[in-house]
Amino acid sequence: MKHKNSNYVDLGIGIFVFFLTIYIYIITSSYPEPNINPVAASTFPRLLSTLMCIVSLVLIYRALKGKDSVQIVIRNYKKVLSIIGLLIIYTLALMYIGFTLSTMVLMFIILYLFEMRKYRYSILIPIIAAFVIQYIFQKFLNVPLPTGIFTII
Amino acid sequence: VEEEMIDLLFKGFANLFISGSALTLLTGIIFGIVLGSLPGLTATMGIALLLPFTYTVSPEAGLSLLIGIFAGGIYGGSVSAILLKTPGTPAAGATLLDGYPLAQRRNAGKALTVATISSALGGLIGAITLTFLAPQIAKVALLFGPPEYVLLAIYGLTMISYVSGKSLIKGYFSGLFGLLIATIGLDPINGFPRFTFGSLNLLNGIALLPVLIGLFAISQALESTETFDEKNTTQATIKKLGISLKEFIHILPTIIKSSFIGTFVGAIPGTGTDIAAFLSYGEAKRSSKNPEKFGTGVIEGVAAPEAGNNGCVNGALIPMFTLGIPGEAATAVILGGLMVLGLQPGPLLFKDNPQIIYTVFASTITSNLIMLVLGILGARIFAKILSLPKNIITTLIFVFAIVGSYSMRNNVFDIWTTIIFGVLGYFMSKAEYPIPPVLLGMILGPMVESNLGRTLLISEGSYAIFFQRPISLFFIVIIVFTVISSVRKKDKGENPVLQINEHSEELRDSENGI
């Protein structure tokens, strides 16, 4: 279990976004001036970042006052973070070793994280799923999935 | 004019079968019921997950698929509300109040039958209202010019106040975040690249589909990950299905009244199926001869929210199709789907593509009949869905979400977008920053900007044009009224949905002995 005081969460977000809006202002200052149309490329982003700046200041103020305090509780946070990491690795793997094998491995590991210890299922399900999904997308939807050195069909 | 409409509607029904929409509709409804009945998986997520499949079929078939998931998902939520005391979707939150006590008294079959009949009738009344009302609204909307569209989109954005949960400021934050995301890419007026940092992938902006899949599928699946080790609660068993004619006649007035409440609530942008369900329940209780019996397991208590939320499904489609304004998350995703299909929502859709729109109407009407048949014949099967291994489904959702986002443009960049928005959405909802406003911002932002450009071109730079046109003046009044009333309401903490959610959580907690 992870406990954090939300005041710091909102405070952090508020401060980060405050500087982000200033950054947006700086970038947009180099955008071309309006010519025919009074709405220039920078007009709308600047309007939005001004509003966002106000919102971030209100957020900071409320956070310092301790309003809207919520606790961020992430159950099984190690598994959640592992899955996020796995998804990133999976996306990279898709490009190199193709859809079939990477999907099987990804599913096997996620099922393992979910404490699926019946290996009959945790091996069979990924294999079947990988082929079925590939079949649906390639034959039915005509979408070629990434292939790689281990692509089987 | 009326004759022409009826004629178009008949053609729509014929086209339902010719275009294959009947089949995609059936698929959508089944998929929706499965996802909707599984707690933690929502109709919105189902729509996002199946969006990639829509552009391989005709637009009407694709839309029928999405609408089927929406209707089926909202109905499916009642199955777990009754049998597990856990609403499968937030919209079924009010259903469990009387549905579960009924199930405890070995009347689960009766409760499910009432839920099915009420959902189907509620949906049917909603669908018929949609069919006859939407073209009229579209006709009025054809009079809109760029200034009206600017204000209409701003009005849509004020709806953020209603979909933002506890904190108004966090809702505005999410909305502005979505608006800013939408400014990435070539600007719609001058074609100047903004915030692209030299990336070719960013030149066309952040694509809507991967964002939708990330925000509504990946983040939900991550949330399910947290509870992977939770044991299934014991499920009530279905003894006997069906209700007597006397009982049907007894609940019929409640169903009809709730259907209209639901449809009306749905037609107001910014409300949702959960609000519709709660208001219908509240009204049924208020006007009942024995209000004290509500909550102990009366069938009207199941009929009202179920008729209300399925009426709302169709009501919510009215502003989406006619004005291009999404009312809540699910319609926002369907709106995204329309755009992916290359259709511009709004009055022109009715003028340029009557065949598509009337097929969709036929499909909304038919969906309720399908739901009725499936719900009665398949109740026992759908009850079995609840014992499906949730962890395997969550695993599959991760894979489907990633492959789905890749499939639109065969582009790995879209997968990264999905993952980033999935993780972002997950942490945002953890910190109580609402997700639907992000979507509203992303969809309505470009509408505001491009129409503002057009407006000021017409008026040669003068903002006075907004006050010189009657319809736009009318919108300004509505916007001001909405903003003021929402701020005042938040201060008083009046939010029926929050109250009902807290109520149902209390119920659940007391059951689990927490």
Residue A109 has pLDDT above 90, yes or no: yes
Claim to verify: residue A46 and residue A92 sit in the same structural domain: no
Q: Is B423 on the interface with A (CB under 8 A)?
A: yes
Q: Between chains, do A52 and B391 touch, taking CB under 8 Å as contact?
A: no
Range of the domain at A83: 77-140
Which A residues 41-80 touch B at CB under 8 Å?
Answer: 41, 44-45, 48-49, 51-52, 55-56, 58-59, 62, 68, 70, 72, 74-77, 79-80
Residue A70 has pLDDT above 50, yes or no: yes
Residue A149 has pLDDT above 70, yes or no: no
Which A residues 111-140 touch B at CB under 8 Å?
Answer: 111, 113-116, 125, 129, 133, 137, 140
Q: Between chains, do B222 and A140 touch, taking CB under 8 Å as contact?
A: no
By the 8 A CB rule, do B382 and A124 touch? no
pLDDT score recorded for residue B427: 94
By the 8 A CB rule, do B155 and B416 touch? no
Closest CA to B277 of B100, B117, B74: B74
What CA–CA distance (Å, rounded) separates B216 from B213? 5
Closest CA to B205 of A108, A153, A45: A45
Q: Between chains, do A45 and B394 touch, taking CB under 8 Å as contact?
A: no
Q: Tell me which of A20, A37, A65 is where a domain ends.
A: A65
Q: Tell me which of A32, A65, A98 is where a domain ends.
A: A65
Give how far A119 is from chain B: nearest CA, Å.
13
Question: For each of chain B's 514 residues, which pLDDT tens digit applies?
Answer: 678 889 999 999 999 999 889 999 999 999 999 999 988 888 899 999 999 888 788 999 999 999 999 999 999 999 999 998 888 888 899 999 999 999 989 899 999 999 999 999 999 999 999 999 999 999 999 999 999 999 999 988 888 777 666 788 899 999 999 999 999 998 888 888 999 888 888 888 898 889 999 999 999 999 989 988 887 677 888 888 889 999 999 999 999 999 999 999 999 877 788 889 999 999 999 999 999 999 999 999 999 999 999 999 999 999 999 988 887 788 988 988 888 888 888 888 999 999 999 999 999 999 999 999 999 998 888 888 888 888 899 999 999 999 989 988 888 999 999 999 999 999 998 988 988 889 889 988 988 999 999 999 888 888 899 999 999 999 999 999 888 887 776 555 545 444 444 444 444 444 443 3
Claim to verify: residue A61 and residue A83 sit in the same structural domain: no
Claim to verify: residue A11 and residue A59 sit in the same structural domain: yes
Claim to verify: residue A41 and residue A13 sit in the same structural domain: yes
Residue A126 placed within a domain: yes
Claim to verify: residue A29 and residue A57 sit in the same structural domain: yes
Q: Is A149 on the interface with B (CB under 8 A)?
A: no
Q: Tell me which of A65, A85, A114 is where a domain ends.
A: A65
Claim to verify: residue A47 and residue A19 sit in the same structural domain: yes
What CA–CA distance (Å, rounded) separates B334 from A130? 28
Q: Between chains, do A137 and B403 touch, taking CB under 8 Å as contact?
A: yes
Claim to verify: residue A56 and residue A97 sit in the same structural domain: no
In the A/B pair of chains, how many CB contacts fall below 8 A? Answer: 163
Claim to verify: residue A93 and residue A127 sit in the same structural domain: yes
Residue A148 placed within a domain: no
Claim to verify: residue A109 and residue A55 sit in the same structural domain: no
What CA–CA distance (Å, rounded) separates B277 from B309? 5
CB atoms closer than 10 angstroms to residue B153 = 23
Q: Which helix (H) or strand (E) holds B194?
A: strand B193-194
Closest CA to B360 of B1, B13, B3: B13
pLDDT, tens digit, 9 for 90 and up, residues A118-144 = 888 889 999 999 999 888 887 777 777
Claim to verify: residue A89 and residue A134 sit in the same structural domain: yes
pLDDT score recorded for residue B245: 94
Answer positive or negative: Cα dihedral of A128, B37, B443, A57: negative
The chain B residue lying nearest A7, using CA atoms, is: B431
Q: Between chains, do A55 and B402 touch, taking CB under 8 Å as contact?
A: no
Task: Tell me the helices (H) and strands (E) count for chain B, helix number first.
Answer: 25, 2
The chain A residue lying nearest B411, using CA atoms, is: A146
The residue with tokens 């909405």 is B482
By the 8 A CB rule, do B26 and B68 touch? yes
Claim to verify: residue A136 and residue A81 sit in the same structural domain: yes
Token digits for A68? 């809207």
Q: Is A142 on the interface with B (CB under 8 A)?
A: yes
Q: Between chains, do B190 and A95 touch, taking CB under 8 Å as contact?
A: no
* One-letter identity of residue A22: I
Token digits for B363? 């499909």
Which B residues 190-209 touch A at CB under 8 Å?
Answer: 190, 192, 194-195
Nearest to A106 among B56, B399, B452 (CB): B399
Which B residues 75-94 touch A at CB under 8 Å?
Answer: none
What CA–CA distance (Å, rounded) separates B129 from B75? 19
Residue A106 placed within a domain: yes
pLDDT, tens digit, 9 for 90 and up, residues A22-60 = 999 999 988 887 777 778 888 899 999 999 999 999 999
Residue A153 placed within a domain: no
Residues of B in contact with A52 (CB under 8 A): 173, 176-177, 180
Q: Indicate if ipTM > 0.85.
A: yes
What CA–CA distance (Å, rounded) separates A136 from A133? 5
Overall number of domains in chain A:
2
Give how far A13 is from chain B: nearest CA, Å.
10
The alpha carbon torsion through B501, B503, B509, B514 (nearest 10 deg) reads: 120
**pTM for the structure as a whole:** 0.89
Closest CA to B228 of A83, A127, A38: A83
Residue A21 placed within a domain: yes
Claim to verify: residue A13 and residue A46 sit in the same structural domain: yes
Residue A14 has pLDDT above 90, yes or no: yes
Mapped onto helix, strand or coil, the DSSP state of residue A5 is strand
Residue A48 placed within a domain: yes
Residue A71 placed within a domain: no
The chain A residue lying nearest B224, using CA atoms, is: A80
In B85-164, alpha helices (H):
95-104, 108-141, 146-158, 160-163
Closest CA to A110 of B228, B354, B168, B131: B228
Residue A8 placed within a domain: yes
In chain A, alpha helices (H):
6-28, 43-65, 77-97, 99-113, 119-135
